[in-house]
Amino acid sequence: MTGREQPIKEIKTPLRDEQDARVWNALAEVHDPEIPVLSLVDLKIIRSVKVDGENVHVVMTPTFSGCPALNVMKQEVENRLIALGFTHVQVEFTYSEPWKTDLLEESTREKLRAFGIAPPVQLVLPQSPEGRKANLQYALEQPVPCPFCGSENTKLDSFFGATLCKQLFFCDSCHQSFDRFKPV
């Protein structure tokens, strides 16, 4: 770690806290272009914010590594931070402690449901290949209530969906197709 990247929090002052909050609030207004009801903060993809005078350094982590919305989101974050008056804005991605759907809070899951997307199931993935396979199988066998009518009489149509983060389901009660956020 270089000097510049030392966490500012260790030398906390009221002013810095306020600065941090200002940045976090601004980032809570940047939305995922593919799931506009969720902000980058809801999605837990903002890893850290470091403010130092007129400089700001934001670390993000990708949801799905091939997601084409990542660059759009990064650009939007940069625009917001410049609008806040920072002269030096640095936004980068990290893969350490990879993002997973278990990070999503209940309030975020509720927003997904209201938007017509079934939230992801809990997915604990052990390191061993056998353990991973077994847990994935178990997770995929859990009932998925239809976000429109609540029925559990639903089935997986495809492991994949309209975007990398979704899977295609069909509800046998209300006869509608719906998306489920892909558990990873």
Partner 1 sequence: MSLSLPSHIPREAFVRFLLAQADDELVLGHRDSEWTGHAPILEEDIAFSNIAQDEIGHSLVWLTLHEQLTGRTPDEMGFERIASEFRCCRFVEYPKGDFAYTVVRQYLFDVAEQVRLESFLESSFAPFKDTAEKLLREEMYHLLHSSSLVERLGDATDESHRRMQAAVDAAFPQSLGMFEQLEGEEGLTEGGVFPGNRTLRSRWLKRVVPFLRKVSLALPVKGENEHCTILCPIDDGGRKGMHTAHLDDLINDMQQVYRLAPGPNW
Contact positions vs partner 1 (CB under 8 A) = 62, 64-68, 92, 95-100, 125, 127, 129, 132-133, 136, 157-162, 164, 168, 182, 184
Nearest distance, CB of residue 54 and partner 1, angstroms: 21
Beta bridge partners of 58: 49, 91
Nearest distance, CB of residue 13 and partner 1, angstroms: 29
Integer Cα distance of 45 and 41 in angstroms: 6
Q: Which is nearer to partner 1, 22 or 62 (CB)?
A: 62
Reduced 3-state DSSP string for 64-120: CCCCCHHHHHHHHHHHHHHHCCCCEEEEEECCCCCCCHHHCCHHHHHHHHHHCEECC
Closest by Cα among 1, 49, 2, 4 to 22: 49
Q: Which is nearer to partner 1, 157 or 172 (CB)?
A: 157
The SS3 call for residue 175 is coil
Q: Which is nearer to partner 1, 96 or 107 (CB)?
A: 96
Nearest distance, CB of residue 113 and partner 1, angstroms: 22
Q: Which is nearer to partner 1, 115 or 160 (CB)?
A: 160
Nearest distance, CB of residue 149 and partner 1, angstroms: 23
